[in-house]
Chain A
């Protein structure tokens, strides 16, 4: 049997959860993380990160729109997916997906963006032409009331929405962690820590993502990067990263210490099949190195240009590290046999529905959506239509 070492149950040899299932928690993680960054300003009054507020919301929306795609593309029968809305099984964490997704999309993200942008939407519905005018008019829901009172109401309701949005964001991404963490059959996944680790690494990735996008877009707009904003964002990223790293280390140390039935098999797997993605990418380059860089920035007074480089490098490394973590969880969990006697290989295809090209496409698609959103709903008031505002 090609690619199999030792003994695997015959039905275990093929991996059923592909790179697309790696992408899904990564994308919802970015959504949750971006939203938490936005809530820092809105709820916790961290005024320094205000320049990223609207961008964070639009980023969250762009990624959220793409989030169901890897799931639907992976299904054997994608057109049966509405069954999750009509007959959700209350004992299945996966059944939550449809409702949590809809709730988060409509009752949190879209509502908050709409409330924050409503004044501009009404103004643009009056000043633009043609199809765009129709689009804005629809977005006003027929109400052109932008009086002081109504805007104040928007502000109050928006605050409540953001407040509710924080546990909603945790639920949106936490349930994904629970999907894995509640599977007693798989010792690599089975842990109450997994949902928590997922949430904290999601926050790291989301904050890193928005920080990088802000720096890149501002540069493309030929504007000055607000260093106070970026410094504060990076600081929050640093502290959340420390919590994330501690939790991951706790899981690791706990496993090594208890050394249960699965330990030898998992340990061997990490040292061989997952060596590059776990030890090198996730832990080394993706966590320890960015933590060191961010720590240096916190303790050493560095000039602006040096800090910018540190943030870009650590942001990119963090993004790679979190993606590697998702890979190690999803793919790693299927590489070893539940008999603990063998291993298989993941043969990722290139051009099929669940192949590498599709994965790359799905990672880039949110950036396209973000570009459209930024054009429709400009995050920065000084210029009504920013120049080519693409992502990385």
Chain B
């Protein structure tokens, strides 16, 4: 037993360690978020938080539930699979309160050109023109109905 008399300082050092460890355990209990580890090594509540972020694009089903007239024109034309907000922008706010938010019609000079400007890079069978030569400054919607743009299909205005 006498060896312990001369090892007092070592026990104090070890004691400090053990004390620090216990304090750590207590603090940890209060600090680690409650949902941590629920599904894996992460805060389970994060999933719900990310899922609750605000939606900006309403989605075409929402638009079509009101604008059935447009849908009737669109569904048989070349733009059948082009969703409303692809051209009209994010409109969830309008869908929530149609009267208070009026969507601004897009500028076709910029909008149509993005997809339809001819480029050697685009697929050969994709309809593309040189906007300057093709229209000579005339707005696209003068001849093309954006909702059913093909001219020979009776889509002109």
Contact = CB atoms under 8 A, between A and B. Distances in A.
Given A114-B13, A141-B16, A142-B12, A86 B6 contact: no
Contact of A86 (B8, B9, B10, B28): B28
Nearest to A89: B41
Interface stretch (A71-79, A143-151, A258-266, A290-298): A143-151
Interface in B1-32: 3, 6-10, 12-13, 16-17, 24, 28, 31-32
A297 to B, nearest CB: 42
A114 B12 CA distance: 13
A143 B9 contact: yes
Interface string B26-52: 001001100010000100000000000
Contacts of A140: 9
A69 B24 CA distance: 22
A68 to B, nearest CB: 17
A85 interface: yes
B8 A85 contact: no
A155 to B, nearest CB: 12
Contacts of A153: 3, 6-7, 10
Contact of A145 (B8, B13, B16, B31): B8
A380 to B, nearest CB: 24
Interface string A255-277: 00000000000000000000000
Contacts of B9: 118, 140-141, 143, 145, 150
A82 B17 contact: no
Nearest to B31: A86
A145 B6 CA distance: 7
Nearest to A82: B31
Interface residues of A, number: 21
B39 to A, nearest CB: 14
Contacts of A149: 3, 6
A165 B36 CA distance: 34
A147 B10 contact: no
A285 interface: no
A109 B129 CA distance: 74
Contacts of B7: 150, 153
A85 B10 CA distance: 26
Contacts of A249: none
Given A141-B12, A142-B12, A87 B6 contact: no
B111 to A, nearest CB: 24
Interface of A: 82, 85-87, 89-90, 106-107, 111, 114, 118, 140-143, 145, 147, 149-150, 153, 157
22 contacts: A85-B28, A86-B28, A86-B31, A86-B32, A87-B32, A90-B41, A107-B17, A118-B9, A140-B9, A141-B9, A143-B8, A145-B8, A145-B9, A147-B6, A149-B3, A149-B6, A150-B6, A150-B7, A150-B9, A153-B3, A153-B7, A153-B10
Given A143-B8, A145-B6, 16 more contacts: A82-B31, A85-B28, A86-B28, A86-B32, A87-B32, A87-B36, A114-B13, A140-B9, A141-B12, A141-B16, A142-B12, A143-B12, A145-B8, A149-B3, A150-B6, A157-B10
